[in-house]
Amino acid sequence: MDIISSLEEIERPLKNAVITIGNFDGVHIGHQALFHTVIEKAEAVGGTSVAMTFDPHPLHVLAPNGARPPMITMADQKAELIAKTGIDVLLCIPFTHAFAAISARSFVVDLLLERLGMRAMVVGRDYSFGRNREGNLGLLRQWAAEMGFEVLVIDWIQGVTGDADRISSTHIRQRVMDGRMEEAKRMLGRYYQIHGLVAGGRNRGGKLLGFPTANIHLQDELCPKQGIYAVTVEHGGSTYKGVANIGFSPTFDDHQFTVEVHILDFHQTIYGDPIRVNFIQRLRDEIKFNSIDALALQIHKDVAHAREVLADLL
């Protein structure tokens, strides 16, 4: 997959571009359905499959001081997941106030048709575009008839967890924040994952408790609900079983938020190394114990529980 990070990099229109546009946060199975339709259409017309997304998220620009959703996938992870679908080109547009001010007609005519060479566009039923979201599906279909491109509209994918909600980034965020990792996984098509560099911790996991931990500092990522989780950890091309603690370690009363992962049967020093943590199942709440010994005993139980949960995965 080719990644284009600015419009200036596009020197000539793409061949019969079939395009879908969105934030694609999470690259969930609804997004994947869009991409597969784009790829199928591009193959049918001998063209190029294109996904257009934005960085940063538009709300980070348009509502910098307001409520902004934490990201399910950071930009590099999103690109990696989109590449796995088979899309030919990922166009990652820097989202600015100037870009947000482009009219709906200019967006279609100047950008999509003239610069990108759009032959067809694949959208969901709620798609809107252009300045103040002035463009809608009806207007897009009208222009398609006038200008000679095709619009394909795909239906939303309903929830796979027994409810009637369509699969969306918003619903996935709520599942993750509630610690309902199995439901999030069914919507994402994979386990929810965070990643980052292993940072120095408070040097007590191994010394005081007998369970050394790898600590990760989150950026804008969505953080699962506080508690203890069975996880898998990817490092150096291998995958390991583990137990993660998200929260404030109340037994120690230091009120410092951490994401700590104890990797089972692992004895390497990995400070500064990148790791990925997949959240499989939430095991329990984070609670305060009367002593370090009591906490250590509970961690032994958590490790045993995690081994049971992860037995069939690795």
CATH code of the domain covering residue 121: 3.40.50.620
Say what the pLDDT of residue 253 is: 66
Q: At 302, which CATH number?
A: 2.40.30.30
The whole domain housing 114 covers: 2-154
Task: For residue 182, give the 3-state DSSP assignment.
Answer: helix
Whether residues 117 and 235 share a domain: the answer is: no
Whether residues 217 and 271 share a domain: the answer is: yes
pLDDT tens, position by position, 49-101: 999 999 988 888 887 776 678 899 999 999 999 999 999 999 999 999 999 99
Phi first, then psi: what are they for 55, rounded to 5°?
Answer: -145, 120
Whether residues 137 and 264 share a domain: the answer is: no
Whether residues 143 and 236 share a domain: the answer is: no
Whether residues 131 and 205 share a domain: the answer is: no
Under the banding of pLDDT at 50, 70 and 90, the label for residue 288 is confident
Whether residues 119 and 200 share a domain: the answer is: no
Whether residues 109 and 62 share a domain: the answer is: yes
Whether residues 197 and 136 share a domain: the answer is: no
Whether residues 286 and 202 share a domain: the answer is: yes
Six-digit token pair at 161? 């967890």
Q: Report the chain's mean pLDDT, rounded to a whole number.
A: 91
Query: What's the gap between Cα 266 and its chain centre?
Result: 27
DSSP string, 265-297: T-----TT-EEEEEEEEEEE-----SSHHHHHH
pLDDT tens, position by position, 244-276: 999 987 766 667 788 999 999 998 989 999 999
Say what the pLDDT of residue 160 is: 56
DSSP 220: S
Whether residues 150 and 9 share a domain: the answer is: yes
Ranges of beta strands (E only) in the chain are 2-4, 17-21, 48-55, 89-94, 118-124, 150-154, 192-199, 214-216, 227-235, 238-247, 258-263, 274-284
Q: Long-range contact list for 292-295, CB < 8 A, 24+ apart?
A: 292/208, 292/209, 292/251, 295/209, 295/251
Say what the pLDDT of residue 202 is: 58
159 lies in a domain?
Answer: no
Lowest mean pLDDT across 36-45, 86-95, 287-296 = 287-296
Under the banding of pLDDT at 50, 70 and 90, the label for residue 204 is low
Say what the pLDDT of residue 207 is: 46
- Amino acid residing at 252: F
Say what the pLDDT of residue 156 is: 78
Say what the pLDDT of residue 84 is: 97
**CB 246 within 8 Å of CB 221:** no
- Amino acid residing at 138: G
306 lies in a domain?
Answer: yes
Averaged pLDDT, 2-29: 95
* Residue from 127, 125, 84 nearest 112 by CA: 127
Position with higher pLDDT, 163 vs 29? 29
Whether residues 268 and 126 share a domain: the answer is: no
Separation CA 216–CA 214 (nearest Å): 7
Separation CA 293–CA 291 (nearest Å): 5
Separation CA 116–CA 223 (nearest Å): 36
Q: How many domains does the chain have?
A: 2
* Residue from 237, 308, 234 nearest 277 by CA: 234
279 lies in a domain?
Answer: yes
> CB-based contacts of 219: which residues, under 8 Å, 6+ apart?
74, 196
76 lies in a domain?
Answer: yes
DSSP 122: E
185 lies in a domain?
Answer: no
Under the banding of pLDDT at 50, 70 and 90, the label for residue 130 is very high
Whether residues 147 and 219 share a domain: the answer is: no
Over its C-alpha atoms, the chain yields an Rg (Å, rounded) of 22
Q: Within 10 Å of residue 262's Cβ, how many Cβ atoms?
A: 24
- Whether omega for the bond prior to residue 70 falls within 30 degrees of 0, making it cis, is no
pLDDT tens, position by position, 214-251: 999 888 789 999 999 999 999 999 999 999 999 987 76
